[in-house]
Chain A
Amino acid sequence: MAKAAIYSLTVLLAVMFVIPLVWMFVVSFKPEGVSAITISEWVDFSNLTLQNYKKVLTESQILRWTYNSVVIGAITTIITVFISSLAAFAFSRKTFKTKGFWFILCASGLLIPTEAMLIPLYETVLNLDMLDSKWGIILPSLTNPLGLILIMQFMNGLPKDYMEAAQIDGCKDLRLWWSIYMPLTRSAMISIGIFYFIMSWNNFIWPYIIINTEENMVLATGLPTFLANNVLHVNTIMTASAIAAIPTMVVYVLLQKHIVQGVSMTGVKG
């Protein structure tokens, strides 16, 4: 009895979670002006149309924004994982006097978010002539300390024998990192990389501030710009949202295991 009640609650909550998404898709296939708010409208399949999709795809640069988001996400993720791993290697496997100082400096990035330093960061990027460009988005987001700390913890857990054996073989540090520590921490880095990609994909305020030509926008900022500049029906809004949501939802379904693993890694130990 109690079990049945708990199970019904689980189902009910799941239904409440998917309704907004289902509604978004339903409305996106309805003709303009039909907001599909009654059950009869939901199950009425006679008036489905692809007109909204055609409209959004031709009138906005949504595919271009998706492409920008993917490229920026990929570059950010790859660079961050590599530089975090290199730094983690130094912190985990090298002994040097100023270690504590550098570590605190690196970890201090956890304390103050970009949101609290918008003005001087804008000025810095302006002086480097990177406003309205990909690198203006990518470079300020590279030094998230979370990945560094996680990879470092992972490396701390590896036996030191590898290092000693490799040093006896005359292996230089850089090769040691590249051919032993990188492969050994592969699974951790994939999880962290996915987490970084999601963060980059969802990054909103920074691209919103520094990008002003439509062509250079990312998905998260192009969408509100497109919808603010045009008077649109609910159907067009939902269609644009659906097109923006589809790639992430597909990737999520495919990589679910890694994504969930990546997220849980960042929280439990972070």
Chain B
Amino acid sequence: MRAQHGAGARWKKHLKLEFSAIAFLSPFLIPLIVFYIWPLVRGVWISFHSWGILGMQKFVGLDNYTKVWTNGDFFKYLWNSFYFVLLIVPIIILLGLLLALLIKRKIPFQTTFRSIYFLPYVLSVSVISFIWLRMFDSKHGLVNVILEAIGLSPINWLTDPSAAWWSIVIATVWWTVGFVMVLFLAGLQEISPDLYEAADIDGASASQKFRYITLPGLSSVMKVQIFFQIIAGLKLFGQVQIMTNGGPGDVTNTIVRYIYVTGFKKDMFGLAAAQSTMFCIFMLLIAAVQYLFMNRKQS
């Protein structure tokens, strides 16, 4: 009898702890559930319907998914976003690393350089897109003027299908590489100077020090950065919307812009929800692959 009473009291105490903890969590949990968990579930529900913004709804089963699957556009634009990732991630990681290494040591105006490289990052996407829209103008843009001045032929940056992606890549690298640089700088500071001293005593060359001390020291920052940059690349929307409008043709149309147009311009909410759901699954797959890849490398 007494034992039972003790268990009841303990159970009560647990419940009290549980509730007091959840009370602390709830200001965070409530918006999370309303604006994250619920929409995720709701999105799947919407995707099984023919659905307009004004509310006309009809259950259509897997029809939307069949449409996405049989019409090749979804995969075409998903590939476009992925293509952008393939172009930008190596460039932004290498350039970010280069900038960090350039200003790592005490050099004159060190902080000024850091400020300059980082500066574009604080501008909003529309500002940087308009600057580069004008920079790439084929007649009055500074880029072609400079190309011609050094004897190269001008390029129709925004209307030539093979150059359009590069315009977006250049603008985006200029905008966000400072962010990557700052993270590498922080990573470099965490490498103990003793390692370099020891290497100096052993007579190691600069490239050996880079290969065996700097790179391994940066590996965790590098992994996190590659992960972030891949996700950021797949989310590409603003620069494309403002600079090329997905063009020329649909060369620079990305998956996010495709979902946006399907849902908000063509008013096909159900179809767009099916596309969103498939895009979510794709993002989760990417995250899972990276997680496995990173953990394997560690062991």
Q: Is B113 interfacial (CB-CB < 8 Å)?
A: yes
Query: Would A105 and B225 be within 8 Å (CB), given that A10-B113, A86-B24, A89-B24 are in contact?
Result: no
Number of interface residues of A (CB under 8 A): 90
Chain A residues with CB below 8 A from B237, complex form: 115, 204-205
Answer whether A82 and B114 are a contact pair too, CB < 8 Å, given A17-B120, A143-B36: no
Question: Does B117 lie within 8 Å of A13, measured CB to CB?
Answer: yes
Is residue B215 contacting chain A, with contact meaning CB distance below 8 A? Answer: no
- In the bound assembly, the distance between CA atoms of A207 and B280 in angstroms comes to 21
Q: Does B202 interact with chain A (Cβ within 8 Å)?
A: no
Beyond A118-B263, A260-B118, whether A37 also contacts B27 by CB under 8 A is no
Question: What does the 1/0 interface line of A141-183 toward B look like (CB < 8 Å)?
Answer: 0110000100000000000000000000000010001000000
What residues of B have a CB within 8 angstroms of the CB of A204 in the complex?
A: 124-126, 237-238
Which of B69-77, B85-93, B185-193 lies at the interface? Answer: B185-193
Q: Which residues of A contact B99 (CB under 8 A)?
A: 13
Asked if B31 is at the interface (CB within 8 A of a chain A CB), the reply is yes
**A100 lies within 8 A of chain B by Cβ:** no
Instruction: Please count how many residues in chain B sit with their CB below 8 Å of the partner chain's CB atoms.
Output: 89
Q: Identify the interface centre among A27, A120, A268: most chain B CB within 10 Å of its CB.
A: A120
Instruction: Tell me the number of A-to-B contacts counted with CB atoms below 8 Å.
Output: 269
The answer on a CB contact under 8 Å between A90 and B21 is yes
Q: Smallest Cβ distance from B154 to chain A, in angstroms?
A: 12
Asked if A9 is at the interface (CB within 8 A of a chain B CB), the reply is yes
Residue of chain B at shortest CB distance from A177? B24
Knowing A87-B28, A139-B31, A267-B183 are in contact, say whether A120-B224 is a contact too (CB < 8 A): no
Residues of chain B within 8 A of A270, CB atoms compared? 224, 228
A208 CB → nearest B CB, Å: 8
Contact with B along A242-264 (1 / 0, CB 8 A): 00110011011100100110011
In the complex, which residues of chain B have a beta carbon less than 8 angstroms from the beta carbon of A40? none
Give which listed residue, B238, B242, B269, contacts A123 with CB less than 8 A: B269
CB closest residue in chain A, given B126: A223
Please determine whether B131 and A9 come into contact, CB atoms closer than 8 angstroms: no
User: Residue B60 at the A interface, CB < 8 A?
Assistant: no
Which residue in B34, B120, B122 is a CB contact (below 8 Å) of A198?
B122
> Which residues does chain A contribute within 8 Å of B231, judged by CB atoms?
113
Nearest CB on B from A68, distance (A): 13
CB pair B115–A256 under 8 Å, yes or no, is: yes
**Known pairs A120-B273, A123-B269. 4 more at Cβ < 8 A?**
A96-B21, A118-B260, A173-B20, A244-B127
Binding site for A on B (CB under 8 A): 14, 17-18, 20-22, 24-25, 27-29, 31-32, 34-40, 42-43, 46, 53, 99, 102-103, 107, 112-127, 129-135, 137, 140-142, 145, 174, 179, 182-183, 185-187, 190, 220-221, 224-225, 228, 231, 235, 237-238, 241-242, 256, 259-260, 263-264, 269, 272-273, 276, 279-280, 283-284, 287
- 5 intermolecular pairs with C-beta atoms under 8 Å apart: A17-B116, A83-B31, A139-B31, A219-B126, A224-B242
- 6 smallest beta-carbon distances between A and B, as pairs: A264-B186, A120-B43, A267-B183, A90-B24, A120-B39, A87-B28
